[in-house]
A and B are shown apart, each in its own frame.
Chain A
Amino acid sequence: MFAIGIGLWQGLTAAFHVQTFLLPRPSDIAQSFWDNKGSLWHAGLYTLKEALGGFAIGGSLGILVALLLARFRTVGAALMPFAIAANAIPIIAFAPITNNWFGLLNPISKMVIAAVLCFFPTMINTLRGLITVSPSSIELMRSYAGGEIETFRRVRIPNSLPFMFTGLKIAAVLSMIGAIVGEYFGGPTNALGVSILNDSQLFNFPRAWAGIILASAFGIGLYALVAAVEHATTSWHPSSRSVYTE
């Protein structure tokens, strides 16, 4: 399917003589990627590091805040509007500000953008998993004289894992986007976002496209990594059910 799509892209852009600055042919992009593989790869890794940093910060904060909100519901209700407000920040408008806070060339300025993007989906999904527990599950733990911490450890946290991973998968892709957006407002020249911006301003569209595709590939890679961890840790989840009969 993917191959057919690429083939159509290649065939149609060639057949209708689409200008390179509108949409380069896949073969041109591949050629450009090959010619610049060293510098692109380097830039990609640099941006990936920013994305990973942001993912780690935003993801862990999201999980931590979800735990606190689930444990202290009244505090949670009071803090929720702030979390929603944080999510409503137009991230593009925020990027120049973090660049200003942490310095244009400091990778932390990009990590913060990525972290803000990662925080909300992780937090909201984890929280949902922590609180959507059947009342009888809680009564069962109570009947065994299990306290609040034990209920979290044995019921709420395991119950939240599939939800948490859903959030982390969304966050993984967003972290790469966040890092690139941050770099669009300035960053070291060896960063992928800066490189894409420069290439398109210099009308080197095949190279810009190669950068974009590399960025997506890293995003997909992060997603796949989280999915693999999910698969390894929540294999109990009844995604493929085989039922015994009595």
Chain B
Amino acid sequence: MTEPAAANVVEIEGVSKSFRTGVTALQEVALDIRAGEFISLIGPSGCGKSTLLRIVGDLIQPTSGSVTVNGKTAHQARLDHDYGIVFQDAVLYDWRTVARNVSLPLEMLGWDRARRRARVAEMLELVELTGFESSRPWQLSGGMQQRVSIARALSFDPPLLLMDEPFGALDEMTRERLNMELLRIWDKAGSTVVFVTHSIPEAVFLSTRVVVMSARPGRIAGVVDVDLEQPRTIDTREDARFFELITTVRETLAAGHGGDASRAGAAEERF
């Protein structure tokens, strides 16, 4: 994983995606993501933000356009284990203990037992779940499960972390705490993050840039640079600039919504 500090980790060029149902999920999306950035994709349902995330992760193919990850095709990047993915549900396997869930990608990468054990201990410490190694996923709360999922995604040091509404199913307090934790982990791990969310405050609080998308067809309505001081703290949420940026994002969303707001359709965002 050797990339120059300011190199583009992800280059998205003219990506469109139409589904067989005739729905255009994405139209001519272009976006560059630099190393170490924390990018949020935000927009209404059906704007294709999860689709875009999956195209970057080579989980679905764009109809046209190209995605380059670390100078390679998205497909090659996936084969090279460049992605750590966190979904809205933690996707932990009940037949594996917490420790063995975290070590799953390491097993698939062929790490030996001793190395796996050391890394799992390190990761569980990072997400503050030391002591839960031999617990089963279903014994943990939703927030704890999602932390296990994050530990698993980061366990093999992927250069790119893709997160699809990871805290969407959690209550507000847990979500805010996990936001803080995620930033701490991001700071330590130094990976690039693409984060899909429905929550404007969450996007502004976490990101270095917020990519605002609009629906039908899904496209980028605007990109908001978040110039809040790093590292973000609890006080960031009280900052006047924080509220200004929230307003900017909201206005960009409203502008992007524009005249199509009345055009109700059944665009499928996920497949």
A134 touching B89 by the CB < 8 A rule? yes
Q: Tell which of A136, A137, A144 touches B108, judged by Cβ atoms closer than 8 Å.
A: A144
Q: Which of A145, A234, A238, A243 has the most CB of B within 10 A?
A: A145
A139 contacts chain B at the CB level, 8 A cutoff: yes
Q: Which stretch from A8-16, A63-71, A108-116, A150-158 is at the chain B interface?
A: A150-158
How far is A236 from B94 in the complex, measured between Cα atoms in Å?
A: 6
How far is A93 from B35 in the complex, measured between Cα atoms in Å?
A: 72
Question: Known: A234-B95, A237-B94. Contact between A243 and B89, CB under 8 A?
Answer: no
Residues of A within 8 Å of B162, CB to CB, are 143
How far is A237 from B137 in the complex, measured between Cα atoms in Å?
A: 11
Binary per-residue interface labels of chain B (95-121) against chain A in the complex, 1 for a CB within 8 Å, 0 otherwise: 110000000110010000000000000
Q: How many residues of B contact A (CB 8 A)?
A: 33
A17 contacts chain B at the CB level, 8 A cutoff: no
B144 touching A246 by the CB < 8 A rule? yes
Residues of A within 8 Å of B84, CB to CB, are 143
The residue in chain B whose Cβ has the minimal distance to the Cβ of A245 is B141
Q: Which of A144, A234, A242 has the most CB of B within 10 A?
A: A144
Residues of A within 8 Å of B144, CB to CB, are 244, 246
A221 contacts chain B at the CB level, 8 A cutoff: no
B140 touching A158 by the CB < 8 A rule? no
How far is A64 from B87 in the complex, measured between Cα atoms in Å?
A: 32
Binary per-residue interface labels of chain B (124-141) against chain A in the complex, 1 for a CB within 8 Å, 0 otherwise: 000000001001101111
| A94-152 residues at the B interface, CB under 8 angstroms | 134, 136-137, 139-140, 142-146, 150
A134 touching B91 by the CB < 8 A rule? yes
Q: Tell which of A144, A146, A155, A243 touches B93, judged by Cβ atoms closer than 8 Å.
A: A155
B136 touching A144 by the CB < 8 A rule? no
Residues of A within 8 Å of B78, CB to CB, are 142-143, 145
Binary per-residue interface labels of chain A (203-246) against chain B in the complex, 1 for a CB within 8 Å, 0 otherwise: 00000000000000000000000000000001011100111111
B139 touching A158 by the CB < 8 A rule? no
B217 contacts chain A at the CB level, 8 A cutoff: no
The residue in chain B whose Cβ has the minimal distance to the Cβ of A242 is B139
B91 touching A244 by the CB < 8 A rule? no
A244 touching B139 by the CB < 8 A rule? yes
A145 touching B104 by the CB < 8 A rule? no
The residue in chain B whose Cβ has the minimal distance to the Cβ of A244 is B139
Residues of B within 8 Å of A137, CB to CB, are 91, 93
Residues of B within 8 Å of A142, CB to CB, are 58-59, 78
How far is A158 from B96 in the complex, measured between Cα atoms in Å?
A: 10
Binary per-residue interface labels of chain B (60-79) against chain A in the complex, 1 for a CB within 8 Å, 0 otherwise: 00000000000000000011
B116 to chain A, nearest CB (A): 14
Q: Tell which of A158, A234, A238, A246 touches B138, judged by Cβ atoms closer than 8 Å.
A: A238
B89 to chain A, nearest CB (A): 6
Residues of A within 8 A of B (CB): 134, 136-137, 139-140, 142-146, 150, 154-155, 158-159, 161, 234, 236-238, 241-246
Residues of B within 8 A of A (CB): 54, 57-59, 78-81, 83-85, 87-89, 91, 93-96, 104-105, 108, 132, 135-136, 138-141, 143-144, 162, 174
Question: 7 closest pairs, A vs B, by CB?
Answer: A238-B138, A158-B95, A136-B87, A143-B85, A236-B95, A136-B91, A145-B79
Would you give 20 A-B contacts (Cβ < 8 Å), ordered by A?
Answer: A139-B59, A140-B85, A143-B78, A144-B104, A145-B78, A145-B80, A146-B108, A159-B93, A159-B95, A234-B95, A236-B136, A237-B94, A238-B94, A243-B138, A243-B140, A243-B141, A244-B139, A244-B144, A246-B141, A246-B144
